[in-house]
Chains A and B, each alone.
Chain A
Amino acid sequence: MAFDEMRGVAKGKRVRDPYREIGVWLEGQDDHELRRKSLEAEAQFRRTGITFAVYGNGQATERLIPFDIIPRVLSAAEWRRLSAGIEQRVRALNAFMFDIYHRQEILRAGRVPEDLVIQNSAFEPDMIGIDPPRGIYSHIIGIDIVRTSENDFFVLEDNTRTPSGVSYMLENRETMMHMFPDLFRSNRVAPVEDYPESLRATLESVAPPGLDNEPVIVLLTPGQHNSAYYEHSFLADRMGIDLVEGQDLIVTGGRLMMKTTLGLKQVDVVYRRIDDGFLDPLVFRSESLLGVPGLFDLYRAGRVTIVNAPGAGIADDKSIYSYMPEIVEFYTGRPSILRNVETYNCRRPDHLSYVLENMADLVVKEVHGSGGYGMLIGPTASKQEIEMFQMKVKGRPDRYIAQPTLALSTCPTLVEQGIAPRHLDLRPFVLLGDKMRLTPGGLTRVALRKGSLVVNSSQGGGTKDTWVLQD
């Protein structure tokens, strides 16, 4: 039986402290009324256009990520513990990146296998020797955390490239405050609304040094067909910065310029939401039309800051993940506060044979996969699926890792049959610039299908508002 965030382990007996008010509130509601509210919320989301694009059948459609109106609650004490662990991890991740793009001490010390880094497709040799402002590579990080009991939290993965979902965190809160103001009067919920301001301050703080004027910041999007376009426009809007596409930028006279109604205007910081490979066709994928030719040379010369830095993906590679306890200890001198999920690297022969024999009990993931694709959940997979995966893993063991299936915690969720427990995770968002800024809570994703452990929005996951209560 999974740990339930509201009722603990003993089902139905006692409501855990952080959920006391939620429990009282739910008692007073009937399903019909809740469902009406839920539809109201959905209409609101659709009108605002908080959609993501789903591609299939050759046609893109806009869908909503389902929103569940029962919030997920963390106590102040729980959050203190988590945030200490998150801060430690974010510093370690950045120290790791600085190191592997400079002296590579950790490789020399043999704490992380050299080939795992150097031959990794996420490792960017062009970044070696570059000094990004303040030595930061990943300014915006999302850390996926799952809970298995009252006191056990695990990091499932780190997102150090271009983590998304923060707009949902903000819109979910807006919607909840709009629909259930009473709940916010009876609970002291830590606000999240200053995230855009914090993001802007973070971006300003890593502008190239020595500018005469306030730095000009832009958000670089692949365009409105990207599945996260809503978020791009949302963030640009809330920060009051221009939302640009590659075609709006040009490198000329040793500067990055954007094409405005009055001609060219210098740009100093690029918050990019396009992948490394598309940034600069001269350095990366030459066929890319999304990026800006010459951008990387400017970056190398320190004329413009790219956030997150190219090559930051090395730190969230799933094969590097298994070394995170060593990485945290190596750079912070202390054991990792947040625990890793035990991970088998199929590139290691002893791990490989264990994985092949026990696949039915494991979650097997592609090292470079994301979005919940390319993975196998052993306990729910058919015999055939398992056999197929065994073949795949045998063929390219270096491409796979495996983890034991965790009993992810559940939270009451409004589903067709009424209110029922559903599994969830948590993605807190961290900003690192002149200082670290951690928004209380983050994005809670919930698997809406009964028993499902896959919370990804592309696979039927929804979201919840996430509350951190204040003392």
Chain B
Amino acid sequence: MLGRTANDLFWMARYMERAENMARLLEVGHRLILLPHDGGDEEWRSTLRSAGVEGGYLERHSQFDTALVFDYLLLDRENPSSVYSCLASARTNARAQRTAITTEMWEGLNGAWIEFQRRTAVRPTANDLPALLEWIAECSALFRGAMLNTILRNDTFFFAQLGTFLERADNTARILDVKYYVLLPQNELVGGGLDNAQWAAILRSVSAHRSFRWVYRDRFAPWHIADFLMLNPQMPRSLRSCYIEIVAALAGLGQHYDRPASSLVLAERTASTLANGDMRTIFQAGLHDFLSTFIAGNNLLASEIAAAYHFAD
């Protein structure tokens, strides 16, 4: 496989995952500002920070207006992480590699792109948003489903998996990092309705507000939420789950190429930290530090993989 092909497959999957994450962040932000309190600006600031685009937003807008934030995260072509840009980039990468992906994957992605343009040809109003955001998540699910059901389990699959799970891990870690203060144990004492809403929002932003109950069964406790999103192997968006998939993809590549993946060492180290970690120790050492280290390590792994497989020679 061409190095450029590997690069495009990796980013196709990564952008598709990001589009879905953006949609979910927007949905949660939207929900939070409907709550009866006046922290609207702060909510949007942390949404933008979770999306990793706070700086870019402030270059264009001076206030955290709901319509402006929506526009920036959903439609802004200048924002490389807007849903528009993510879908466009995912499609460009897929189009460059039409030969590597299956018809079902291409049609899923191309169909999403065509439909997104149709749905946003007229600027969506606040009332259109819930349905639109839901639909974006559906597109991502359809694309991943098409991929899992149709693609050969060879390097094509492994590079796409790496893109998906590196992005997902980054996203989950960033959501946690932005909101880490509401997860600190002392906050349990605060415990008012607003904190409950904040915790629910975190779970919702990773589609886990219902599954959480099935696993923990008790009321929201911040360390349980942190545990669920970081260390729990059942939760498909937890850091641990992402690293189980990343390790599997790198091992698969090693097998496929009959040459062990050099980046496997770093990935396995992170995976084992997550497997052997417990929340008490992590909180003691500092949740924010842990997450910052994790995000940096995740980025490092992505660039190691790019170098090892000649993504951009």
Taking CB as reference atom, which chain B residue is nearest A218? B2
Binds B, one of A4-12, A258-266, A348-356, A383-391: A258-266
Query: Bound complex: CA of A224 vs CA of B110, how far in Å?
Result: 15
Q: How far is the CB of A149 from chain B (nearest CB, A)?
A: 42
Are B96's CB and A260's CB within 8 A? Answer: no
* CB of B116 closer than 8 Å to a CB of A: no
Q: Nearest residue in A to B102 (C-beta to C-beta)?
A: A237
Contacts known (A46-B114, A47-B110, A224-B92); A260 close to B3, Cβ less than 8 A: yes
A261 & B309 in contact (Cβ 8 Å cutoff): yes
- When distances are taken between beta carbons in the complex, the residues of chain B under 8 Å from A242 are 1-2, 5, 99
In chain A, what residue has the closest Cβ to B114? A46
Query: A88 to nearest B CB, angstroms?
Result: 35
The secondary-structure label for the interface of chain B is helix
The reply to whether the CB of A234 lies closer than 8 angstroms to some CB of chain B is yes
Number of interface residues of B (CB under 8 A): 24
Partner of B310, one of A224, A233, A243, A261: A261
Evaluate whether A224 and B309 lie within 8 angstroms (CB atoms) in the complex, with A261-B2, A261-B3 already known: no
C-alpha gap A14/B110 in the complex (Å): 45
B117 to chain A, nearest CB (A): 11
Chain A residues, CB < 8 A from B95: 49, 224, 229, 233
Q: From residue A63, how far is it (CB to closest CB) to chain B in Å?
A: 13
Given known A-B contacts A233-B98, A245-B4, A259 and B110 have beta carbons under 8 A apart: no
Specify the chain A residue showing the minimal Cβ separation from B107.
Answer: A47
A260/B2 in contact, CB under 8 A: yes
Residues of B within 8 A of A49 (CB): 95, 98, 106, 110
Q: A237-B98, A244-B2 are in contact. Are A261 and B155 (CB under 8 A)?
A: yes
- Give chain A nearest CB distance to B307 CB in angstroms: 11
Q: How many Å lie between the Cα of A234 and that of B97 in the bound state?
A: 10
A236 and B106 contact, CB distance less than 8 A: no
B290 in the interface, Cβ–Cβ < 8 Å?
no
Is B6 interfacial (CB-CB < 8 Å)? Answer: yes
**Nearest residue, chain A, Cβ from B257:** A262
Contact with A along B68-99 (1 / 0, CB 8 A): 00000000000000000000000010011111
Chain A residues near B260: list those with CB within 8 A.
none
**CB-defined A-B contacts under 8 Å, sample of 23:** A47-B110, A48-B106, A49-B95, A49-B98, A49-B106, A224-B92, A224-B96, A229-B95, A233-B95, A237-B98, A237-B99, A242-B5, A242-B99, A243-B98, A245-B4, A247-B4, A248-B2, A248-B3, A259-B313, A260-B310, A261-B3, A261-B310, A262-B309
Excluding A47-B107, A242-B5, 11 further A-B contacts by CB distance (< 8 Å) are A48-B106, A223-B96, A230-B98, A242-B99, A243-B98, A247-B4, A259-B4, A259-B313, A260-B3, A261-B1, A261-B5
Q: Using CB atoms and an 8 Å cutoff, list the residues of chain A in contact with chain B.
A: 46-49, 223-224, 229-230, 233-234, 236-237, 242-245, 247-248, 258-263
Give B residues with C-beta under 8 Å from A.
1-6, 92, 95-99, 103, 106-107, 110-111, 114, 155, 257, 259, 309-310, 313
